[in-house]
Amino acid sequence: MDTLWTSDAIAAATNGTASADFAVTGVAFDSREVGAGDLFIALQGEATDGHRFLDQAFAQGAGGAIVSRDAAGPHLRVNDTFAALENLARAARARTDAKVIGVTGSVGKTSTKEALFAALDRAAPDTTHRSVKSYNNHTGVPLSLARMPAASRYAVLEMGMNHPGELAHLTTLVRPHVAVVTAIAPAHTEFFPDESAIADAKGEIFQGLEAPDGSKGGVAIVPFDSPHRDRLIAAARPYASRIVTFGMSPEADVRPIETMPVRTGGTFVSAKLGERELSFTVGQPGAHWVSNALAVLAAVDAAGGDLGLAGLALADLGGLQGRGARFMARIGGGDALIIDESYNANPASMAATLAVLGAEPGRHVAVLGEMRELGVNSPTYHADLAEPLVAARVEAALLVGEAMAPLAQALEGQIEFVHVPTAAAALKVLPGMLAPGDAVLVKGSNGVGLSRLVAALAGGIA
């Protein structure tokens, strides 16, 4: 692999002192992810200290480490390893000529980020960089930047938050040329007084916008159909040289002229981008994916990418693990469709994916884990899921987690359901609820642990 950082470049970026000359091909701060040639950054957190895992990192082939105390093996010593990570991120951003796209939103940001990567990678294979997994927080964003090769032509960085002010800081690291807000919805409401406050926090992403020549200004991409559209536009206006809206409305800058379901489950779309038209197929099912695709086209266009190749990439895009991946599981001598949405959940994404389930043939089964970080309105948000469950013609539901109690009460007499406290308890109940030909949605907040159910289904538990 090509060298990503030399010890001299790391020292210059972090103001650290190298124990020896070395070069690395990757960056990691989780010792479990360290591979041959990686730079291991020994972060110190509340729960653990990365310095404890230095021996493990070097045993796994780390090419060097950033530390704040003496260490064996090639290393670079700094006063503060987290500050060093951020400084390395700044240096990575400063040395590249890539078109940088930042993506945030209450729902759809990881899917949109992956679709954007696929679209841009078609035109610039091996020179398009992206955040991996959901590395979108105060450590994940600088790590994703630090991993960016200097020769990248495009970079797509996912940016998340659960408190005001977080994006205002992260966007100064990313300095996006294009900033996308996918949607505003109830998420992390435990930390915000209302949805308007969430919109304000998401709108912080625009504060880092800059033009490709480094001057102030860039392109802000805003969801037209959001009730917070005008609030987001107001947040973008002081920083953006151009604001582009996307959505289903005929007034949006990027909008569908026509949509039509296709036999494979996706959607054929004829879209309008200003005065131009583009026809393409969205491979993933659901109206929310049409919206994601419009945001992708707006961002590709703003970054100077190839719209035709972007359309081809959207047609080929598969589901992500925990975010729409599909597979057939062996159930009682037959097969059942499993839709894996186990990574995350909030009221908006629950409703969207239940609608996708409802469009599938066969008996509909929903395995739903509680939605977390919803604050004092959590009971109402959970109870309100009864309506999309009924609309999706769900015949059986398995509800997981104590916070699902209001939904269980709302479903009495409407849908057959079982309510259990944990994913472990759900694993015992689930096999008896399934039959060949079922379409099964598994969705919940990641902390509920429904990914274990998905893994068990993939392994043939029933």
81 is in an annotated binding site: no
290 is in an annotated binding site: no
108 is in an annotated binding site: yes
CA distance 281 to 240: 30
* Distance, C-alpha 133 to centroid of its chain: 7
* Helix 195-202, helix 166-174: angle, nearest 10: 20
- The strands making up 99-104's β-sheet, listed across from edge to edge, are 128-130, 154-158, 99-104, 178-181, 219-223, 242-246, 254-261, 267-273, 276-282
Contact by Cβ (8 Å): 38, 25: yes
DSSP secondary structure, 355-403, as one string = HHHHTSSS-EEEEEEPPPS-GGGHHHHHHTTHHHHHHTTEEEEEEESGG
What is the CB-side half-sphere exposure of residue 44 using CA atoms within 13 A?
11
- Per-residue pLDDT tens over the stretch 85-133: 999 999 999 999 999 999 999 988 999 999 999 999 999 999 999 998 7
Q: Read off the tokens for 416.
A: 């057959």
Amino acid letter, residue 315? A
| 208 DSSP assignment | G
CA distance 204 to 39: 31
Which residues have a Cβ under 8 Å from the Cβ of 451 and sit 6 or more positions away?
322, 340, 342, 343
CA distance 294 to 256: 8
CA distance 353 to 350: 5
Domains and CATH numbers, the chain: 5-80 (3.40.1390.10), 96-316 (3.40.1190.10), 325-459 (3.90.190.20)
254 is in an annotated binding site: no
Which phi and psi (to 5°) does residue 396 adopt? Answer: -145, 140
Q: Is the dihedral of CA 385, 389, 390, 396 positive or negative?
A: negative
What is the CB-side half-sphere exposure of residue 154 using CA atoms within 13 A?
27
CA distance 208 to 313: 28
226 is in an annotated binding site: no
Q: Give whole-number Cα distances, 385 to 189, 372, 397, 439, 445, in Å.
A: 17, 14, 12, 18, 14
Percent of the chain exceeding pLDDT 70 equals 99
202 is in an annotated binding site: no
Predicted local distance difference test score (pLDDT) of residue 193: 87
Task: List per-residue pLDDT tens for the chain, 462 residues long.
Answer: 799 999 999 999 999 999 999 999 999 999 999 999 999 999 998 788 999 999 999 999 999 999 999 899 999 999 999 999 999 999 999 999 999 999 999 988 999 999 999 999 999 999 999 998 778 999 999 999 999 999 999 999 999 998 899 999 999 999 999 999 999 987 766 778 899 999 999 999 999 999 988 888 999 999 999 999 999 999 999 999 999 999 999 999 999 999 999 988 899 999 999 999 999 999 999 899 999 999 999 999 999 999 999 999 999 988 778 888 899 999 888 899 999 999 889 998 999 999 999 999 999 999 999 999 888 899 999 999 999 999 999 999 999 999 999 999 999 999 999 999 999 999 999 999 999 999 999 999 999 999 999 999 998 765
Q: Read off the tokens for 279.
A: 């026809």
State the pTM of this model: 0.87
Predicted local distance difference test score (pLDDT) of residue 8: 98
Please name which of 401, 404, 331 lies closest in space to residue 363, comparing C-alpha atoms. 331
380 is in an annotated binding site: no
Which residues have a Cβ under 8 Å from the Cβ of 263 and sit 6 or more positions away?
none
CB-count burial class (<10 Å; 0-12, 13-18, 19+) for 400: buried
